[in-house]
A = this chain, B = another copy of it.
Amino acid sequence: MPKMSDVAKLAGVSTATVSRVLRNPDTVTPSTKEKVLEAINQLNYQPNMLARHFRRTETNTILVLVPNISNTVFSEIVGGIEEEAAQNGYRVLLRNTNNQLENEYASIEHLKQRQVDGMIMLSPKLDEETLIEISHQYPIVLATAHLETPTIPFVSIDNVGSSEKATEHLIRLGHRWVAHISGPMYSLISRNRYEGYQNAMKKHGLNPEDKFVREGEFTYESGYEHMLDLLSQKEVPTAVYAASDDMAIGAINAANELGVKVPEDLAVVGFDNIKFASMFNPSLTTIAQPLHGMGQRSMELLLKKLNGEAISQTEHVLPDKLIIRNSCGAKHKEKLLPM
């Protein structure tokens, strides 16, 4: 494995010059640059990044913490991050936390030990205090996350508003008994989506009764179980808004299991617009987040942090969109109720 001194020797220059050719080519005379490049070629020299990183205490690599790599929501965000990173000479490495808080915490080690220069956390589960503490020491950005006190840059959508929109869509289709299967309440996102649901209900003079609200875990299984439960009551909802597509699909399958037809007997709206949402039968009406754009924006913010630029705005709320497909029954109806 040839080293820089080998190249220097062959080119008849000093290692300093070789280093300059590699990192500041403009500060070197074309003719010597030529010689050096030729030597590099001849020896098939590759800089030892371990040495370079050590010397410069930086890696040009960022870490993305993904709760669950099999969730298309996250993989699309990662796509946006990678694009922006590549354009700026950064590498992206992913770490799957498997939704384990401990893994999330453990990944700070990568930063502490300087394996990566910065980190983007997708839907972090760590408490706000801990996050702020980390952010105090290392460049981090959050995505699909929301903070009470936006001291750390984060990228998100308006979860309250989008939830309101989703719920209102069901109400305008004539439903009065709209149920909600929420995400876990320890997550601010879940609380926000719940809040949006409540807002919409109240706005239309409906009472968001406890018997129609269930706290799920964003998973298929929890959607399934809670729907079985909701449908086993004396009074049964005619519509349900689930805070994730996985839960919405679970809910639909539970309804089918009980002979309740979707969307005829039960209208369903999900959240996320995962890849499977359009493939499922019935196709899912859902809220789409601008995932790619969210990834890009997060990386832009992280780049600013890495370059020591000031970040004037920490709260980045991007626009979402209600995508109407078949599960809500809108395509069966002639028209919606007025707003």
Find out whether the CB atom of B61 lies under 8 angstroms from the CB atom of A70: no
Query: Is A150 engaged at the interface, CB distance under 8 Å to the other chain?
Result: no
Find out whether the CB atom of B46 lies under 8 angstroms from the CB atom of A54: no
The count of residues in chain A whose C-beta lies closer than 8 Å to any C-beta of chain B is: 46
Query: Is A79 engaged at the interface, CB distance under 8 Å to the other chain?
Result: yes
In-complex Cβ contact of A253 among B74, B91, B281 (8 A):
B281
Least CB distance from A211 to B in Å reads 27
Least CB distance from A92 to B in Å reads 7
Q: Which residue of B lies closest to A110 (CB)?
A: B91
Query: Is A68 engaged at the interface, CB distance under 8 Å to the other chain?
Result: yes
Q: Which residue of B lies closest to A249 (CB)?
A: B279
Chain B residues with CB below 8 A from A281, complex form: 253, 256, 280-281
Find out whether the CB atom of B50 lies under 8 angstroms from the CB atom of A114: yes
Query: Is A151 engaged at the interface, CB distance under 8 Å to the other chain?
Result: no
Interface residues of A in 32-61 (CB under 8 A from B): 46-51, 53-54, 57, 59, 61
Using known A-B contacts A75-B70, A78-B69, determine if residue A46 contacts B112 with beta carbons closer than 8 Å.
yes
Chain B residues with CB below 8 A from A63, complex form: 93
Using known A-B contacts A49-B114, A50-B54, A253-B281, determine if residue A275 contacts B70 with beta carbons closer than 8 Å.
yes
Chain B residues with CB below 8 A from A59, complex form: 50, 115
Chain B residues with CB below 8 A from A5, complex form: none
Find out whether the CB atom of A95 lies under 8 angstroms from the CB atom of B96: no
How many angstroms from the CA of A78 to the CA of B98 in the assembled complex?
A: 11
Query: Is A72 engaged at the interface, CB distance under 8 Å to the other chain?
Result: yes
Query: Is A195 engaged at the interface, CB distance under 8 Å to the other chain?
Result: no
How many angstroms from the CA of A93 to the CA of B78 in the assembled complex?
A: 14
Query: Is A94 engaged at the interface, CB distance under 8 Å to the other chain?
Result: yes
Query: Is A149 engaged at the interface, CB distance under 8 Å to the other chain?
Result: no
Chain B residues with CB below 8 A from A49, complex form: 113-115
Chain B residues with CB below 8 A from A113, complex form: 46-50
Give me the interface of A with B, judged by CB distance under 8 Å: 46-51, 53-54, 57, 59, 61, 63, 66, 68-72, 74-76, 78-79, 82, 91-96, 98, 110, 112-115, 220, 249-250, 253, 256, 275-276, 279-281
Extra A-B contacts (11), CB below 8 Å, given A49-B114, A61-B115? A48-B114, A54-B54, A66-B69, A70-B75, A70-B76, A75-B96, A94-B95, A220-B275, A249-B279, A276-B276, A280-B281
- 27 A-B pairs with CB atoms under 8 Å apart are A46-B112, A48-B54, A48-B114, A49-B113, A50-B54, A50-B59, A50-B113, A50-B114, A53-B53, A53-B54, A59-B115, A69-B75, A69-B94, A70-B72, A70-B74, A70-B75, A79-B96, A92-B95, A93-B93, A94-B94, A220-B275, A249-B279, A250-B279, A253-B281, A276-B276, A280-B280, A281-B281
